[in-house]
Amino acid sequence: MKSILYLVVLTCLFSCKDFQNQKDETIVLNGSNWTFRPIKIPFFGYELDAEGRWREPNQSHGFIVSAINDSTNKWDSHPVRVPMSWSSAVSNPGEKEVKGDFDFPYFWQYVHKGEYKTTFDLPDDLSGKRIKLDFSSVNFVCWVFVNGQLIKGENPDKSYTHLNKLPFTVDITKAVKVPSKNNELKIVVQDFSYAFKGDFPNEDHPETGIDYPLGDRCDYYNKDRGWRNIDNGIIGDVVLRGVPKVNVNDLFIQTDVDSSRITANIEVWNQSEGSRQIEVGGFVTDWKGEKTVFELNSKISVTLEPNQKKNLKLSDIWESPKLWWPYKPHLYDFNVTINGVTVQKERFGFRQVKAVQSNNPEKRGFYLNGIKMRLRGESLEPTWKDGYTEGVGGGLFLYNPEYWSYLLDISKELNINVLRTHRGMSLKRQFEIADEKGMLMIAESTINNGNHKGAFGTVENQRKAIRDLIKTHRNHPSIVFWSLANETPYQEEWEEEALKYDETRPLTATQLSPRYYPSENIVTAACAYSMGLDGYTSDIYNRHDKFWKDKLLYVYEDNACYDEPLDYDRVSSVQKGLSIFRGHRSTGYEMIFTFYTLQKLFGQPTDSIEKHFRINWEDHDVKKLGYRPDYALMPLLDPWTNPEAPKIINPIEGIKDNPIDFWKRSYSPIAVFDYEYDKRIDVSASANPYVSPLSSKRTLTVHNDDIKDTTTVIDVKWQVKLFDEDQMISQGGFSLNVPLAGVKKQDIVLDLKNNDSVRVTYQAFKSGTKRFEETVYLSNSINNEKQIIEPLRMTGDSVLISPDSKAISHRGFHLEDIKKSIRKLLVNNSPKLGDYVQFNPWINETGLYDVYLQVPENSKGIQKVAVQHDTHNTELNIDFSKKQGWVKLNKEPIKFKAGKYDNSVKLLVSNNQTKVRIGTLKIKRTTD
């Protein structure tokens, strides 16, 4: 009996030792104590311009070979700060002047592989624990070495540690001693080129040229720079942790508002040397608080053999939790206990999301905590393309927590309630900040076809991309949808893989092929802006009723605003985009996302210093979690100079209807829109208001998207005044019952008192509080200040673009504004490097074309002229004393598509020596 008692006591003492002193021990390894060494690998076929390579675009890449083989390059180790992307540097092909997140050598942008090194100490506090390294993002494939030992990841049979940019954890216990000093950590990283199949990606294997879905902008998008991405390397945090020998390997918290139930799915792992009997429990504390607010009654006892993992489920009814709402994002910590000791904390929010598919539009929709709501959002991603930005950021500063936090604050001020991480842009800290600020998120995988073929990988790796996305981010309450892919041929395996790991969120995918995929699990019908372009046609809804009437209608890219540099052009793009948005909103779509419009809203920097914005960090800043570059490449916002007063860097001013105010009203939860007035697809940026034809009969659309105040009565009032005086003509109003997440139309007749020019102010009230106000201008005698010029049709085989004639072609541009901008750039002036004008010629027939520039007589000097097109970029130094008349700019014919808006030509002119005169641009069908 004594022996048995002694054995029981000994076992208890030995087992309890695995859980004593379980204070969370983490060491952040971010900071400046790192080096990076670029590694040279053999060239790929496209870099060598090898025979048989992809022939479109027909661009030489000899500058890449020259940059890599430059004898002045230093291939030794360079001090760096982590997180850091070595490829964030950008320069023009063949030039050494480089701008990037850090002051790195110019040739690094063409390097495919590199080695990071640092050292770390392990204090005595970590004795008796398993030592683990957490990486929030390493792009794309990496090999982790600790003290010279390769650390294997979740797939020990693979030669590498981890593949893809999603978070991962490795156990390094066997490679270290505790305590110890100067342990060496080496991480070798290779970029997307690891996924190439053969030397000629997309050429030898046009449909499967890429082994893994690469996601955001990892493709041949920089036509003159070759395959590249801006976020290669260790772009996320590196954290060292000490955990108990019997620990939690995975934790998924599910909350159900309908049943008031909380469920914790826990995977426990015995990493000790012997068998362990444990009791697992859980309790909830307020985030950042110590007070226990709820304790689960259930506990589970289980025996684990050495290295055994088991999945356990704790579940209980929680009668009155504080729910997570966008307007009040309450957060909790779930604490897992083993034998009474807390071994793991995981933050969560108590909320429930549903997507109801129904032929009845009153029921169909997205629901948060049982409340129906419409999603009004923007798609975003960090990219840098041909000298300008796309998305709401131009570089990896979008990953910076200070920038991201301010961006979310501004987004909420603009009444945006959801953001989409387009093509797989996701860092853990971004979702954490969204959790804290109450911003809904659609998290998208890296499965992306876009406008090229073969870059979406094998089905096996598509499964991995979805699995890793969901497993690493599923405890974020801000994520309300999983977007399985972007514009890619659909695979049933996607939803199968997603539902293995999360059944609590609805699934979507954008513009599938086939687009109308008949799956019960894909709850949306996702359409791009190209369908129903003006926002007021019935095109999308006709298709909706015919093909997928029960699906939520998801316009995921509503009027993409691309490269438009001038202020008035940006404002016109925003106003046009928001007019389209209003049309789709008034039609009743459940999910509407603008695309790249937010970038135009803020206005891009014009000053050279602001384009390469210096950020000053203290030493303690760079040791914290988060990406903190030395420079931001063309940022739209500045949260760094004065954190107490962040600002928009280049606000657009002098416009009658300021685009920020127009955006706030367009996205306002409570709104009343004048339907006819908003049907202004071609709009102008002007110091004067937009004027619509006058009619006393108006159709108003009244919107109720306020989920905080769930009442349904909206009171609408209007006042009619003289056009340019404050004299009241008439007024009126009505009350309308508008369901939540609903819109209703109401016809009214204005009493104009025989006036032919008026302004009408509309107001909307809810629960007695004014929530919306907008003034529209109507007249049959006052015209808009400027006339819209339609794109010029081709005459014969060419189209002319001239600063001195009416043959100027550009969508949404006004004649006088175009003349002014062209003269500024091209006529008797010395433009700054990077200035340009973009045109959209109306091409009659798809085919090959040449671009010519007419150089007038008596011009002189050497001028740099570039023409940039989606499939061709070229740059020439022209000696105008020798070349006058028509000078062809492109080296190879350029393929243009037939259509009104499908082609864009960007003419860039820079002269650093003398003034010259440049005349007309001509696009002519080639005779070759």
> pLDDT confidence of 227, banded at 50, 70, 90?
low
Parallel, antiparallel, or unpaired: how do β-strands 141-146 and 149-151 relate? antiparallel
CA–CA dist 540, 547 (Å, integer): 10
**C-alpha distance from residue 242 to each of 608, 743, 797 (Å):** 47, 54, 71
The arithmetic mean of pLDDT across residues 767-789, rounded, is 79
Give the pLDDT confidence score for residue 223 in this predicted structure.
43
- Find all residues with CB under 8 Å of 399, minimum gap 6, and list them: 83, 231, 235, 236, 382, 427, 429, 430, 626, 627
Q: Which residue has the tokens 């309890």?
A: 16
Give the pLDDT confidence score for residue 149 in this predicted structure.
98
The arithmetic mean of pLDDT across residues 770-789, rounded, is 76
CA–CA dist 477, 254 (Å, integer): 10
Give the pLDDT confidence score for residue 513 in this predicted structure.
61
CA–CA dist 107, 103 (Å, integer): 12
Whether the upstream peptide bond of residue 57 has omega within 30° of 0, thus cis, is yes
Segment 443-490, tens digit of pLDDT: 999 988 754 455 678 889 999 999 999 999 999 999 999 999 988 878
Parallel, antiparallel, or unpaired: how do β-strands 697-704 and 670-674 relate? antiparallel
> Is a pLDDT exceeding 50 seen at residue 800?
no
The arithmetic mean of pLDDT across residues 731-753, rounded, is 97
Give the pLDDT confidence score for residue 158 in this predicted structure.
93
Q: Return the higher-pLDDT residue of 781 and 381.
A: 781
Segment 535-558, tens digit of pLDDT: 666 555 566 667 778 899 888 877
**What average pLDDT does the structure give for the chain?**
81
> Is a pLDDT exceeding 70 seen at residue 88?
yes
Give the pLDDT confidence score for residue 716 in this predicted structure.
98
> Is a pLDDT exceeding 50 seen at residue 817?
no
The arithmetic mean of pLDDT across residues 428-449, rounded, is 94
Contact 838, 388 (CB under 8 A): no
Take residue 85 and report the two structure tokens written for it: 């992307």
Give the pLDDT confidence score for residue 603 in this predicted structure.
72
Cβ count near 189 (within 10 Å): 27
- Positive or negative, the CA dihedral 133, 136, 139, 140 is positive
The arithmetic mean of pLDDT across residues 124-153, rounded, is 97
Segment 276-294, tens digit of pLDDT: 999 999 999 999 888 999 9
The arithmetic mean of pLDDT across residues 681-707, rounded, is 83
Closest CA to 690 of 773, 610, 575: 575
DSSP string for 256-286: ETTTTEEEEEEEEEE-SSS-EEEEEEEEEEE
DSSP string for 284-298: EEETT---EEEE-S-
The arithmetic mean of pLDDT across residues 59-63, rounded, is 78
Take residue 318 and report the two structure tokens written for it: 């929680």
Give the pLDDT confidence score for residue 856 in this predicted structure.
66
Closest CA to 509 of 585, 456, 458, 572: 456
Length of the chain: 928
Residues above pLDDT 90, as percent of the chain: 52
CA–CA dist 458, 136 (Å, integer): 24
Contact 615, 640 (CB under 8 A): yes
Q: Rounded to the nearest 5°, which phi and psi values hold at 316?
A: -160, 160
The arithmetic mean of pLDDT across residues 341-359, rounded, is 96
Give the pLDDT confidence score for residue 356 in this predicted structure.
97
CA–CA dist 901, 530 (Å, integer): 11
Contact 118, 82 (CB under 8 A): yes
DSSP string for 380-406: E-B-EETTEE-TTBSSGGGG-HHHHHH
- Positive or negative, the CA dihedral 288, 290, 292, 298 is positive
Q: What share of the chain is helix, strand, coil (3-state, %, to 5)?
A: 15, 40, 45
CA–CA dist 389, 649 (Å, integer): 15
Cβ count near 40 (within 10 Å): 13
Cβ count near 322 (within 10 Å): 13
The arithmetic mean of pLDDT across residues 120-142, rounded, is 96
> pLDDT confidence of 651, banded at 50, 70, 90?
confident
The arithmetic mean of pLDDT across residues 680-690, rounded, is 64
Contact 423, 215 (CB under 8 A): yes
Give the pLDDT confidence score for residue 636 in this predicted structure.
86
- Positive or negative, the CA dihedral 780, 783, 788, 793 is positive
Take residue 177 and report the two structure tokens written for it: 């001693």
Of the candidate ranges 120-129, 254-263, 315-324, 423-432, the one whose mean pLDDT is the lowest? 423-432
Of the candidate ranges 439-448, 561-570, 910-919, the one whose mean pLDDT is the lowest? 910-919
Q: What is the DSSP letter of 99?
A: B
Q: What is the DSSP letter of 718?
A: E
Give the pLDDT confidence score for residue 61 in this predicted structure.
79
Contact 350, 319 (CB under 8 A): no
CA–CA dist 888, 906 (Å, integer): 15
